[in-house]
Amino acid sequence: MKPIIVAVVIISTLMISGGIVGTVFLLKDCTDCIVEQPTDAENELSSVWDEITFRLINESYKVIGDFIGRKLLVEFASSNCPDCNEQNNVLNQINNLLIQEDNDIVILTLMIDLETSKELLTYYINNNISWLIGSINEANHTKIGLEWVPAFYLFNTSGELIKTKQSEMNYEELMNFLSMDLNSKN
């Protein structure tokens, strides 16, 4: 996302099939308003997500659209990545907080190097994971331009990609990454 300085307040956004068609603005004197606007690459990426399937540990196949109505934090990870394994401790703390707060954010870790349910289950148990875990094949994670793990993608309740970060995050950084979304309905 590129921060863009604007001198308007957004009233509503017109949506058709998950794409932004137009926005109605109310002019206002606002010299320090910053609005996160998706880049062209992120807009293209949002439409790609509808085509990408991944398999959960229970052998069911899903797409991002299956989580519409709930916010979704997707982490891409590899079992051979020390930073990814450390990230599990942070995600466990965040997940416990979200459960206590009865928040509507789902955490999903997609492994790029584990293919069988047995491999996923072993990783799940060995790393004390308490959230959703699944796998995604190379063809699909290549489509989204994944270059680094761990990588995080945050989707709103409409299934639109709103934030990305391709690096590890400590507890405070991940909370800041989620901050504007923990208390909002969209």
Please indicate, yes or no, whether residues 67 and 141 belong to a single structural domain of this protein: yes
Q: Provide the residue range defining the domain that includes 173.
A: 39-182
Please indicate, yes or no, whether residues 28 and 45 belong to a single structural domain of this protein: no
Kindly state the tokens that stand for 173: 């950084």
Q: Which residue has the higher pLDDT, 79 or 6?
A: 79
Distance of CA 90 to the CA centre of its chain: 15
Please indicate, yes or no, whether residues 46 and 120 belong to a single structural domain of this protein: yes
pLDDT band with cut points at 50, 70 and 90 for residue 39: low
pLDDT of residue 128: 84
Q: Is-cis flag, bond preceding 150, omega within 30?
A: yes
Secondary structure of residue 50 in the 3-state scheme: coil
pLDDT of residue 87: 92
pLDDT in tens, 111-135: 999 888 888 889 998 888 888 899 9
Spatial contact of 20 and 44, defined as CB atoms under 8 Å apart: no
- Of the candidates 55, 35, 53, the one whose C-alpha atom is nearest the C-alpha of residue 162 is 35
Please indicate, yes or no, whether residues 158 and 81 belong to a single structural domain of this protein: yes
Give me the CATH number covering residue 85.
3.40.30.10
Please indicate, yes or no, whether residues 87 and 168 belong to a single structural domain of this protein: yes
Please indicate, yes or no, whether residues 44 and 25 belong to a single structural domain of this protein: no
Q: What is the mean pLDDT of the chain?
A: 73
Task: Report the domain count for the chain.
Answer: 2
Please indicate, yes or no, whether residues 33 and 43 belong to a single structural domain of this protein: no
